[in-house]
Structure 1
Amino acid sequence: MERTRADGAATVARPAADAAPVGRTARLGGFDHSPADEGRRRAVRRMKALATGLLLIVAVIYVLAKWAQSSGAGGWTGFVAAAAEAGMVGALADWFAVTALFKRPMGLPIPHTAIIPTKKDQLGQSLGDFVGENFLSDEVVRRRLRAVGIGSRLGGWLAEPRNADRVTAELSTALRGALTVLRDSDVQAVVGEAITRRADAQEIAPGIGTLLEKVVAEGGHTRVVDLVCARAHDWLVEHGDSVMEAVSGGAPGWTPRFVDRRVGDRVYKELLRFVTEMRDMPGHPARGAVDRFLTDFATDLQRDPETRARVERLKSEVLGRGEVQDLIASAWGAVRAMIVAAAEDERSQLRLRVRASLLSLGQRMAVDKRLQNKVDGWLEGAAGYVVTTYQGEITSLITDTVAGWDAEHTSRKIEAHIGRDLQFIRINGTVVGALAGLAIYTASHIFG
């Protein structure tokens, strides 16, 4: 089914699309058409009827006044006719002006009419330029943010326990979501590669040597030596027969058995005595030898190229083993499970510490002017960077959106929002025209 538009062009009638279903939002012409828009259109139609009715009233008054004037009713008829005539002129002029915004009056191809349908894209570009120049400039954004004082407001907001609880809960949800989305295999691969790359890029021997040198100088290794000596003593006491059998078994076959047993017994006793003395005597010469060995080894780790090269080869071999990569993978799985469990538990130390940190930060920000200025400066800098860097992309959202709208539906959409006020212009034009006409007619009579 076709119908004829006001400009004379034929278009397909869409009665079902013009009115959205009750309580639902329809998609028309590139934007949403809601029940509220339909209500605005009804209000516009009522105002159009009122303005047109007022025009008809003054037209009837004009006809009656001219009839009365021709019938000799008196001089007052001229005043009424002049006011009614000027009211009609004002009403028709404002009708033309209002109608020319949305369509061609009476379908006539008059220049500079149907402004919104024909100039839609230019209006969108102008609107985008206006927003970019007056709202998305670095100076305007910084001045506005500075006037708002986000730092102090954010501090006061965070200082409230219920707000800190809310932020903590949101952070926990975000953390759980991020850990859920991340695939363990990807994270394990990244962590393993990062550890391996970092270890390969940095030589570890000098650092180990420096640490060992410091430990020996401070006597931190003595506990390890004490532990080794104590365990060696206990092992010898428990496995004395095994030691003597090992010594006897290594003797030549031509020696008598009793000689082998006596030699084994002697070796065992001397070994036990040596370990016991080393355990009980902090100043034992063997302990001093261990100290000198560790000191020399620490020096070689820092300065000897051969020792450092051996450590690097050992490091590469260890990192390349599958057991080490499996250990990294299992470590990530354990850490992930621990974090998720802590994020879900409202009484976990993680959430309690985060909440306490937020409250402390909010209390500081609420009273610390220096911290407020720092936060405001960060936000101003970030906002300024966004608007200056992406101003074109932001304004193109306006221009591209307007360009995607259908011209007819755009006119109807805009008319639904501002048409009611425009109809008041017609009413005011009728009234003001009538008063102006009356004033001019009166003045012409007074001044001849």
Structure 2
Amino acid sequence: MSRSAFSRRAVLLGGAALAAFALTPRMVAAEVKAAASVASEDIRPFRVDVPEVALADLRRRLATTRWPEAETVEDRSQGVQLTKLQALVRYWETDYDWRKAEAKLNALPQFLTNIDGLEIHFIHVPSSHPDALPLIMTHGWPGSVLELLKVIGPLTDPTAHGGRAEDAFHLVLPSIPGFGFSGKPKGTGWNPGRVAEAWDVLMKRLGYPTYVSQGGDWGAIISDSMARQAPEGLLGIHVNRVERSTTIPPDVAKALRNGDPAPENLSAEEKRVFDQAREFLNKGFGYAAMMGTRPQTIGYGLSDSPVGLAAWFYDKLADWVFTRGDPELSFTRDEILDNITLYWLTNTETSSARIYWENGAANAKLTPISIPAAVTVFPGEVYRPPKSWAQRAYKNLIYYNRVDKGGHFAAWEEPELFSREVRAAFRTLR
């Protein structure tokens, strides 16, 4: 099926699914789409159309929040500070406009297709440059496709953003299963490896026999999985988040695991990385331990309380942006709330958390990657390995660069810099 040809039947089914949203107080998108029972390889246009009753329900819940007392410290050591969250929620209730985010999404070509029994939502923006390189780019948690929207222009139309025509990409931005408008798995097994297999199907279904993959956070883990699977046509990957377990030398990993001092043979740079890793594991890893072992338990609160959801997400934004502790210095309030509201309206708080559980349950052996790989290290990332450590995981490391700004949400925080890095990373693979 060509990229521009869509069946009339599929369009009608998509419209029926959207109309069904109005029957529910919350837009539980995945369940509604599943009810359409479209199990074909059709690629169907998709539009976001949230019923007003869902937005009114959100505002009602925000207005009736029962707040805890303020923290008993003057810093963030106990979590999100009460005054900061109350200010954000006050704006969310009275001034925030979801329709602007909805319009932003609907201005882009969005689609659904069924892969391995699950509906997959994706944005597909072909470049006007005919020799563009196909690129599938994957978001992470607590992000969504919204965190990647700023790089669509620079990557698909580089000549309008200081680049060259030969640096253009045909861009595919899917929503991970259980996130956003993609379907929610009804059973186990949708770990990063299975998502990686689905992404190869998606790219070839779109008519791209050769392509590259990019990701940060879970997107990086999925890109790594694709590289290990090395399907025919995958030319290489670029990641802006590197897996610790595959890159840290054994003696360093043992010291971290046992709480021992850093090995004496480490360089000054390696010692800094060791200290950062220890700080994260001791003070910043609790969220992942909870979702990796009890996603259902944490999901009840996140699904029922929009303020609970906002606090859970805001805490990680504050931890991981380059402007540590101050996400508002990296994003506007609307950008922060667009992403949180997307999770709320699709009721994907629990289903998205399960990828942590699935990844642990998979217990896959993470072997070194042999196909071409590129790494950009952003200074606000949680783990920033030196090149010598990165080469432990990526045996064919064709590009490694450390930049001077940007954090864990690199495409969202520094879209122009991020886009330049992606262009440079894949230049030799064209």
TM-score by length of 1: 0.21
TM-score by length of 2: 0.22
Structure with larger Rg: 1
Higher relative contact order (CA 8 A, sep 6+): 1
